[in-house]
């Protein structure tokens, strides 16, 4: 059962965007409340960056989703 993580960042970005839309806030709201840069969040959602675990936790806190649920969503999509 090999995992190649080929589209890893794309999947992470998709799941982050889903969670943000679900929450009904803009990238700008998310950036302000999480303390991260808006342009960086844009890149994350488009799969252009590979976030650190700390960034994941910060985003999840603002998105009102538990990190383990987001990670499970990502696992399921891999």
Partner DNA sequence: CTGTAGACTTCAGTCGACT
Partner DNA sequence: TAGTCGACTGAAGTCTACA
- Tell me if 66 contacts its own copies by CB under 8 A: yes
The partner in contact with residue 36, picked from DNA, its own copies, none with C-beta cut-offs of 5 to 8 angstroms by kind, is DNA
Residue 47: its H or E element = none
Could you give the CA distance from residue 5 to residue 22 in angstroms, rounded to a whole number?
A: 25
CB of 14 to DNA, least distance (A): 11
Residues near DNA (CB under 7 A) are: 26-28, 35-40, 42-43, 45-46, 48-52, 54-55
CB of 1 to DNA, least distance (A): 22
The residue length of the chain stands at 78
The interaxial angle of helices 8-23 and 53-63, nearest 10 deg, is 20
């Amino acid at each position: 059962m090999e995992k190649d993580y080929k589209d890893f960042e794309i999947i992470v970005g998709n799941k982050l965007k889903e969670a943000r839309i679900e929450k009904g806030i803009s990238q700008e709201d998310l950036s302000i409340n999480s303390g991260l840069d808006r342009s960086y969040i844009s890149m994350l959602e488009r799969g252009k960056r590979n976030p650190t675990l700390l960034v994941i936790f910060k985003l999840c806190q603002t998105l009102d989703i538990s990190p383990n649920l987001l990670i499970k969503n990502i696992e399921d999509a891999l």
